[in-house]
């Protein structure tokens, strides 16, 4: 760390923080400083704060509120501060409360009076709202790319195992055969919706609060369209009260995060189940498993379990911010300082979960023989038998359902699969059944027959996987 600058040292030693002027004759208590300061976490927004200040300075200079010399000094000073922070040499002062005051104090220390002019026409209220929107927007762009990477990994495995049968479950009971590729594509669809939610959130948040000042706007003739455009926003916010007090964009971001984390947790749970010895559908390498301190045979899917657990952190972030915001009157209140930590934490947890899930999807080795064996268990082709009765014998489906149920009971009593019943045993329940029934009772025939759009037929799965691969590459 560098030595504390003179202006920053003055602020620390002055019992009345000079950023606030003469009204506060006494300094804050240590407890007040601790609860009030946010620099411990909002320093994460330093890049966004500098970007906002550069845009604001350029606009003030264009309007003649700043001189060209002041703008150049501010621009160069902020560049030097960015280099200091990037190099880990910036002395963050708790006494200055937040990233905005820290950067402004350091700028004034470096360039003098010009640094004090930068805050003209803005407040910390619109400054933090702008910085936070910029941070969430940047996070969305990074996370969207990560979600797309996981989708690509899933689509690649789907193409690889488009025809590999596995049991499809409802209520975690064997229902009908599907293919492993089809199962992978289900998560591609979930994550595609997650990307859609991120895109919606980004579009709605892309309005610029800068220039709204504390709550009422400002008497300076600011060009808010200029600063909005410079920061990549679509437009400036239309109401200054709403602009400084809105955190819908953060709530929507956390909502999208929570839904996506839930999707990742569902896949993580399935990975945990599939890795267990009774199933043994997949194997994860040492890269994504750990051992036991006492049981040398264990290979624990800890990465999947931790993805599952991190969903709680993301959900907690959403509920926490909803609770902070629920009772706040317009406009800004210091409660809203509690908006950033949950968003930062949730974004980190989501990003790590995406990286872990993507890694496990590519790492896992499916045991196709084991999955195929299980796919035929639990009378999984019973629906195929009922469909045959409807299609060939023209029975009403409800009648076919009852006939099939009696045949399942007969097979269960004998301890055999449906296709191991004799033709005579089947005809005892329904005389119209012929030997052709056995053509539909295999797992392979079952999955091949599900050719309806979105179904599990291998040709369907291969086509859908190809479509996603083309879209994602």
Catalytic positions, written as ranges:
171, 292
In contact, 100 and 127? CB cutoff 8 Å: yes
Residues 112-129, buried b or exposed e (16+ Cβ, 10 A)?
eebbebbbebbbbbbbbb
Rounded Cα–Cα distance for residues 303 and 309 (Å): 10
What is the per-residue DSSP string for 6-74? Answer: HHHHHHHHSSS-TTS-TT--SPPPHHHHHHH--HHHHGGGHHHHHHHHHHHHHHHHHTTSS-HHHHHHH
Element (H, E) at 167: strand 165-170
Neighbours of 473 (CB within 10 A): 9
Q: What is the DSSP letter of 303?
A: H
Rounded Cα–Cα distance for residues 118 and 112 (Å): 11
Element (H, E) at 86: helix 68-86
Q: List, in sequence order, every residue forming a beta bridge with 174; answer none if it has no partner.
A: 169
In contact, 267 and 310? CB cutoff 8 Å: no
In contact, 330 and 241? CB cutoff 8 Å: yes
């Amino acid at each position: 760390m560098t030595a504390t600058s003179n202006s920053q040292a003055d602020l620390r030693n002055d019992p009345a923080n000079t950023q606030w002027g003469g009204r506060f004759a006494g300094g804050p208590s240590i407890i007040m400083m601790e609860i009030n300061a946010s620099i411990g976490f909002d320093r994460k927004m330093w890049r966004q704060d500098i970007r906002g200040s550069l845009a604001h300075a350029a606009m003030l200079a264009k309007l003649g509120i700043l001189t060209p010399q002041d703008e150049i000094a501010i621009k160069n000073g902020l560049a030097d501060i960015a280099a200091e922070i990037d190099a880990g040499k910036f002395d963050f002062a708790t006494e200055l409360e937040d990233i905005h005051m820290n950067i402004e104090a350091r700028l004034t220390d470096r360039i003098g009076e010009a640094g004090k002019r930068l805050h003209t026409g803005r407040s910390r209220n619109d400054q933090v709202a702008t910085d936070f929107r910029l941070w969430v927007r940047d996070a969305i762009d990074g996370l969207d790319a990560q979600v797309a990477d996981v989708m690509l990994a899933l689509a690649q495995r789907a193409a690889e195992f488009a025809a590999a049968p596995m049991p499809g479950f409802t209520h975690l009971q064997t229902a009908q055969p599907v293919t492993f590729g089809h199962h992978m594509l289900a998560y591609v669809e979930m994550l595609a919706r997650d990307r859609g939610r991120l895109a919606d959130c980004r579009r709605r948040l892309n309005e610029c609060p800068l220039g709204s000042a504390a709550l009422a706007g400002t008497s300076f003739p600011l060009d808010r369209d200029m600063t909005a455009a410079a920061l990549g926003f679509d437009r400036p916010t239309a109401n200054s009260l709403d602009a400084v007090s809105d955190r819908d964009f953060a709530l929507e971001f956390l909502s999208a995060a929570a839904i996506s984390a839930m999707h990742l947790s569902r896949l993580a749970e399935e990975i945990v189940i599939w890795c267990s010895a009774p199933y043994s559908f997949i194997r994860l390498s040492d890269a994504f498993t750990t051992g036991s301190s006492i049981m040398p045979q264990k290979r624990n899917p800890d990465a999947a379990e931790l993805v599952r657990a991190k969903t709680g952190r993301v959900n907690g972030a959403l509920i926490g911010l909803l609770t902070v915001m629920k009772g706040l009157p317009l406009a800004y209140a210091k409660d809203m300082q509690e908006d950033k930590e949950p968003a930062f934490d949730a974004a980190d947890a989501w990003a790590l979960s995406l990286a872990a899930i993507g890694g496990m999807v590519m790492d896992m080795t499916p045991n196709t023989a084991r999955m195929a064996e299980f796919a035929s268990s639990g009378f999984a082709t019973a629906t195929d038998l009922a469909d045959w009765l409807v299609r060939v014998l023209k029975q009403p489906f409800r009648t076919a359902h009852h006939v099939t149920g009696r045949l399942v009971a007969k097979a269960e009593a004998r301890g055999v699969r449906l296709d191991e019943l004799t033709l005579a045993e089947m005809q005892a329940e329904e005389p119209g059944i012929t030997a052709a029934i056995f053509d539909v009772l295999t797992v392979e025939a079952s999955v091949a027959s599900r050719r309806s759009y979105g179904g599990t037929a291998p040709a369907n799965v291969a086509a859908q996987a190809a479509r996603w691969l083309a879209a994602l590459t």
